[in-house]
Structure 1
Amino acid sequence: MASTVLGAEVRDRVPLGGGAARVRLADGRTVVVKDGDEAAIAAEAAGLRWLGAAGGARVPAVLDVNGGRLVTELVAGGTPGTRAAEELGRALARTHAAGAPAFGAAPPGGPADARIGAAPMRNAPAPSWPEWYATDRLLPYLRTARDAGTLTGDAARAIEAVADRLPELAGAAEPPARLHGDLWSGNVLWSPEGAVLIDPAAHGGHRETDLAMLALFGCPHLGTVLAAYDAAAPLAAGWRDRVPLHQLFPLLVHVVLFGGGYAAQALSAARAALRAA
């Protein structure tokens, strides 16, 4: 960590994990500083700006980007409540509705080679969601996991079947949505002013993916969030049945990053997606 940030001397630094730290400056400000790979930092900064420009779900303001360092505003701690959950649902609907140029499109100024957590993630525009989801989201991580021996046999075959059948599994066609892209509950901070979304892997995708990821590891007042979203921007028929399909990508990322412990969950999601057809 540098001795100065935003032109002010660093007085105190508290690690937050993931290369980030809460930093208190001599001029009285407290900010969050994240150090990391330059391309990953550029992608995160571009994603925060793109999401923030949507006028929907709140994200931390980007204060500075310098090579492999990102400085953002600090989000004050708060407690999740029903009203904040309702507003998150409505705000997330506005973010998604702001759209993207294409499925797989990176945020303006963001690199094509980005990351989701510590895993590489390629953002390349594609003409349809089923084609893109199979080619750029499911199959690359399946290959990596299979090569590592962490996902084989029935699980690999089931995921390949999902990729082959995506045109019939995808549901009604929708336009590209502006996605947070890594919207698990740990990336939703509850401030006194409401929910704030951090650590995006932003790109153009299917709006059901963000909602499915919220459900994957649990989110406070999830039912309220989803009901408010559906009231603001009604979801297509059968969306609940497609939750496992959209959870399959983050589960594959977890298999790649953390090993075969997630292989059973990936297999269950793949089988559920196939049954829903």
Structure 2
Amino acid sequence: MLKRFLADLRKYNYFCWYSAKTDLKAEVANSYLNWVWWILEPLCNMLVYTFVFGSVFGSNQQYYPVFIYSGLLMWNFFSRTVTYSIKCVRMNRDIVTKVYVPKFTLLISNMLLNGIKLAIALCILAAMMLVFQVPLTPMIFVAIFVYLIMFIFAFGCSTILLHFGVFIDDLGYAIAILINMMFFMSGVFNDIATTVAAPFGQILANLNPMAFFISSMRGALLYGIMPDLRVLLDWAIISIALCVVGVRTIYKYENSYVKVV
């Protein structure tokens, strides 16, 4: 399966990039601010959360605006990827019913689209780190590695949801509720490990994958703290396992998707 997967990545990589660029152009076609909206959305959310939790509730977290903004960027990539995966086969019905492409390439195309948006927003994050005088340390490479594992985890979850989303219409509603719950339990605007009473805070931070990824990335990027490598390795193995299960399932059942959509 791995050989077939890598061969399909090479064969359809142009399709993925072309589809991502086309979707990017379509998103901003009738917008006055174009790609600026990709920066304004997390930036405005950051300002709201900074005011609410920093001023109203009195959070004393160091570099708090950067703390929130960095968490929002990672969360937005994950939530957009997962949410899209449920409906991506139905949304691309014209492609699916007319030509053959491995169905996970539709997901990869969307991840590339979200990755381009993320790259632009990360430039703003770098500027904010300079403004708030966040010290740069070699731990920035650990933060990049955490991002890589998060990408793999998002792809693994999304391939599984892609399959079931074809057959279960109500799955989108259930996942929307779950995503909303995860948002408040993932420490986007606070540190779960220290906010929740011990030892439950640390347990929740390790068992919730996005809480762990966000806290590990921010700890390395903003404070030069090495994440728990054992837990990081566990989530890396789980992420790869999810990818194997998801891609294998798609290969096995993708021919039946045409009959459903």
Tell me whether the two structures share a fold, i.e. TM-score over 0.5: no
Larger helix share, 1 or 2:
2
Greater RCO, CA 8 A, separation 6+:
2
TM-score (norm 1): 0.30
Structure in which a larger fraction of residues adopt strand: 1
